[in-house]
């Protein structure tokens, strides 16, 4: 088995290449520069694999997302790197002329495109693109990016967390969609609140579960210190398995939107319930449902979303 590790400021976090062929797992962490816990989780997992000489089949590639913003601990510098992956934008950035100036995040995107393309072309099995995030609100982990029932059920069976299905396309600029278009299994995993020990642990459990679920390794090879049955299943706690997005409260800087404190992802809200304030006054929930991604950080264009159990 071959392991490649690079220094802290590089794009690449590390790679494992098993002797036997198997799934190709591509992990991106820190696509938002204020969300480094996925990187910590990958580094801890890679150390555990090395120290315990855990056999790995197939390939694992792990990359930092927004290297420039991670260095400053900011969500992004010029543009949100997880909102610029619509087909038109990817085509545009991929055909940039050498004399054209690019936003910081467009340069990051070009590098990621090229690295991930290399990883995909080296694949010797199932290819999964796993994009690790945290959010400004507390709450249980979940997946964004259902892509057809069959894939959604497989992902849910492996990870045991709710899957948010973005039928209205509110997140159509997210990276996961670019790889959906290529026919790969691709989703964002949200581990919990930014910069918490809990989010590192949740991310680790999710990565181990993917490695086990795709046959990259076996449970008997893992040391006792590794948890794979602890946090994810428990955290679901009555939240439906398949969830649809029904409303997005878009905000701009000029709105001076301020969310009321204390909302967690998936808290129940009533129609008409006051959720925040902006320069026009109270902001109410237009629907009964569950609150999703309430904005508790300085930047962002999504004030909150309302979600509910998917009605099929
Ligand atoms: Zn994020």
- When divided into structural domains, the chain yields a total of 2
Same domain, 144 and 273: no
Q: State in Å: Cα 282 to ligand 1 middle.
A: 27
Q: State in Å: Cα 134 to ligand 1 middle.
A: 5
The pLDDT confidence band at residue 1, using thresholds 50, 70 and 90, is: low
Residue 162's alpha-carbon distances to 52, 178, 309, in angstroms, are 32, 22, 10
Note the pLDDT tens digit of each residue in 99-111: 889 999 999 999 9
Q: State in Å: Cα 105 to ligand 1 middle.
A: 14
Q: State in Å: Cα 224 to ligand 1 middle.
A: 31
Same domain, 256 and 174: no
Reported pTM: 0.93
Query: Pick from 213, 236, 259: which residue ends a domain?
Result: 236
The pLDDT confidence band at residue 8, using thresholds 50, 70 and 90, is: very low
Q: State in Å: Cα 33 to ligand 1 middle.
A: 8
Same domain, 177 and 278: no
Q: State in Å: Cα 234 to ligand 1 middle.
A: 23
Same domain, 212 and 112: yes
Residue 9 has pLDDT above 60, yes or no: no
Q: State in Å: Cα 63 to ligand 1 middle.
A: 15
Q: State in Å: Cα 253 to ligand 1 middle.
A: 19
The pLDDT confidence band at residue 5, using thresholds 50, 70 and 90, is: low
**Confidence at residue 304, expressed as pLDDT on a 0 to 100 scale:** 96
Residue 124: domain span: 2-236
Query: Pick from 188, 209, 236: which residue ends a domain?
Result: 236
Q: State in Å: Cα 31 to ligand 1 middle.
A: 6
List the CATH number of the domain containing 299. 2.40.50.100
Note the pLDDT tens digit of each residue in 51-69: 999 999 999 999 999 999 9
Query: Pick from 194, 212, 236: which residue ends a domain?
Result: 236
Q: State in Å: Cα 27 to ligand 1 middle.
A: 14
**Confidence at residue 10, expressed as pLDDT on a 0 to 100 scale:** 79
Q: State in Å: Cα 189 to ligand 1 middle.
A: 9
**Confidence at residue 267, expressed as pLDDT on a 0 to 100 scale:** 94
Note the pLDDT tens digit of each residue in 67-102: 999 999 999 999 999 999 999 999 999 998 888 899
Note the pLDDT tens digit of each residue in 114-171: 999 999 999 999 999 999 999 988 889 999 986 666 778 889 899 999 999 988 899 9
Same domain, 221 and 258: no
Same domain, 204 and 277: no
Judge contact between 232 and 202, C-beta under 8 A.
Answer: yes
Q: State in Å: Cα 131 to ligand 1 middle.
A: 9
Residue 213 CA to residue 15 CA, distance in Å, equals 19
Q: State in Å: Cα 271 to ligand 1 middle.
A: 28
Q: State in Å: Cα 265 to ligand 1 middle.
A: 14
The pLDDT confidence band at residue 235, using thresholds 50, 70 and 90, is: confident
List the CATH number of the domain containing 124. 3.40.630.10
**Confidence at residue 233, expressed as pLDDT on a 0 to 100 scale:** 83
Q: State in Å: Cα 220 to ligand 1 middle.
A: 33
Q: State in Å: Cα 88 to ligand 1 middle.
A: 22
Share of the chain above pLDDT 70, in %: 96
Share of the chain above pLDDT 90, in %: 80
Q: State in Å: Cα 126 to ligand 1 middle.
A: 25
Q: By mean pLDDT, which of 40-49, 147-156, 256-265 is the weakest?
A: 147-156
Q: State in Å: Cα 111 to ligand 1 middle.
A: 19
Mean pLDDT of the chain: 92
Same domain, 169 and 47: yes
Q: State in Å: Cα 305 to ligand 1 middle.
A: 15
Same domain, 51 and 176: yes
Same domain, 43 and 126: yes
Judge contact between 278 and 253, C-beta under 8 A.
Answer: no
Instruction: Show the tokens assigned to 193.
Output: 């609140």
Q: State in Å: Cα 78 to ligand 1 middle.
A: 15
268-269 and 289-292 as β-strands: parallel, antiparallel, unpaired?
A: antiparallel
Same domain, 267 and 177: no
Q: State in Å: Cα 191 to ligand 1 middle.
A: 10
**Confidence at residue 152, expressed as pLDDT on a 0 to 100 scale:** 82
Same domain, 232 and 254: no
Same domain, 10 and 87: yes
**Confidence at residue 3, expressed as pLDDT on a 0 to 100 scale:** 65
To which residue do tokens 């997880």 refer?
Answer: 82
The pLDDT confidence band at residue 301, using thresholds 50, 70 and 90, is: confident
């Amino acid at each position: 088995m071959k392991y490649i590790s690079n220094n802290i400021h590089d794009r690449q976090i590390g790679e494992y290449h098993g002797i036997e062929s198997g799934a190709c797992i591509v992990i991106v962490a820190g696509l938002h520069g204020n969300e480094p816990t996925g990187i910590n989780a990958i580094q801890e997992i890679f150390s555990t694999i090395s120290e315990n000489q855990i056999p790995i089949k197939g390939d694992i590639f792990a990359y930092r997302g927004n290297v420039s913003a991670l260095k400053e601990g900011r969500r992004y510098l010029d543009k949100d790197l997880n909102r610029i992956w619509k087909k038109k934008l990817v085509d545009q950035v991929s055909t940039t002329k050498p004399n054209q100036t690019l936003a910081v995040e467009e340069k990051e995107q070009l590098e990621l495109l090229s690295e991930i393309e290399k990883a995909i072309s080296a694949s010797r099995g199932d290819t999964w693109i796993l994009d690790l995030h945290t959010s400004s609100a507390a709450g249980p982990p979940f997946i964004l990016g259902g892509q057809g029932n069959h894939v959604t059920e497989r992902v849910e069976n492996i990870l045991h967390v709710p899957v948010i299905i973005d039928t209205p396309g509110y997140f159509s600029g997210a990276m996961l969609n670019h790889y959906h278009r290529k026919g790969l299994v691709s989703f964002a995993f949200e581990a919990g609140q930014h910069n918490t020990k809990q989010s590192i642990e949740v991310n680790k459990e999710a990565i181990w579960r993917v490695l086990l679920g795709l046959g990259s390794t076996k449970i008997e090879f893992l040391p006792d210190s590794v948890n794979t049955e602890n946090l994810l299943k428990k955290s679901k706690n009555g939240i439906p398995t398949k969830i649809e997005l029904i409303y997005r409260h878009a905000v701009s800087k000029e709105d001076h939107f301020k969310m009321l404190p204390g909302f967690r992802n998936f808290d129940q809200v009533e129609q008409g319930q006051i959720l925040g304030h902006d320069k026009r006054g109270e902001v109410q929930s237009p629907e009964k449902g569950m609150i999703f991604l309430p904005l508790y950080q300085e930047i962002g264009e999504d004030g909150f979303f309302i979600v509910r159990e998917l009605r099929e």
